[in-house]
Amino acid sequence: MKRRDFLKIATGSAGGAAAVGAAGARSSSSSSAVLQQEEGNNSTENGTTTGNGTAGNGTTTSGSEGDSGGGTTKTVAVGPNNQNVFDPETVYVAPGDTVKWEWQGSVAHNVHATDVPEEAAWSAQTEVVSAPFEYSHTFEGPTGEYNYVCDPHASVGMEGTVVVNESGAPPEGEGGAAERTPHEMGVPFQAHFVGIATILMMIVSLVYTFFVLKYGESQHASAPSKE
């Protein structure tokens, strides 16, 4: 094989490796940016939840049941956009956490517990009112499902559930746990590692091409300079 052919093959191999490395670096940078943005959003959301749980917003508040201190507060919208729904319909909390129902829209609703675990202390039946109104309850246990309805709209499916479990999160397989990225699992997937890998790929490609050209030709192969 001529030197010109060798240079063509070597240049093509190096160019391919560089393209792969550049694509990997862009992908790594994008993944890091998305991860940082998600972490920032999570921090903002947590701060908002804490603010909603502690700061008064000028709405009428009913008498809260249980001690609301020490746990996490999760919010359920009652009748958002004048729809006869609880949003979210199912809430997962740990013992000691508080659920706060916030009335929205102009339609009147209430929260009426219908089916709770044995020895549970929740027997809520707030008055039928429209916004602005709030109702809170701290679920100390026992664990299990606490089902409730809106009495005026139970016939159209305005129902909700509070699930009390030890983790305060949905079980795996129900969409509660987000897929973890390699970075979150401790894999150091960084852009400079991709660059180092690209250089190594280029060196290996050049060395491999050299040895193939020098020692890998068949004795029966014909060459223009040989008879």
What pLDDT, in 10s, does the model give residues 137-174?
999 989 999 999 999 999 999 999 999 999 899 987 55
One domain for residues 12 and 91:
no
Cβ–Cβ < 8 Å for 4, 196:
no
pLDDT, tens digit (0-9, with 9 covering 90-100), for 63-100: 455 544 568 999 999 999 999 999 999 999 999 999 99
Over the chain, what is the mean pLDDT? 72
The percentage of residues in the chain with a pLDDT greater than 70, rounded to a whole number, is 55
Integer Cα distance of 130 and 159 in angstroms? 17
One domain for residues 79 and 134:
yes
One domain for residues 32 and 68:
no
Last residue of a domain, one of 164, 181, 200: 164
One domain for residues 87 and 46:
no
Residue 56 DSSP SS3: coil
pLDDT band of 45, cuts 50, 70, 90: very low
Domain housing 156? 57-164
CATH of the domain at 142: 2.60.40.420
Return the pLDDT at 222.
53
- Say which residues have a Cβ less than 8 Å from residue 196's Cβ, sequence separation at least 6: none
One domain for residues 75 and 157:
yes
One domain for residues 143 and 84:
yes
Return the pLDDT at 124.
86
pLDDT, tens digit (0-9, with 9 covering 90-100), for 114-144: 999 998 989 888 899 999 999 999 999 899 9
One domain for residues 139 and 219:
no
Neighbours of 172 (CB within 10 A): 8
The structure's pTM equals: 0.50
One domain for residues 45 and 65:
no
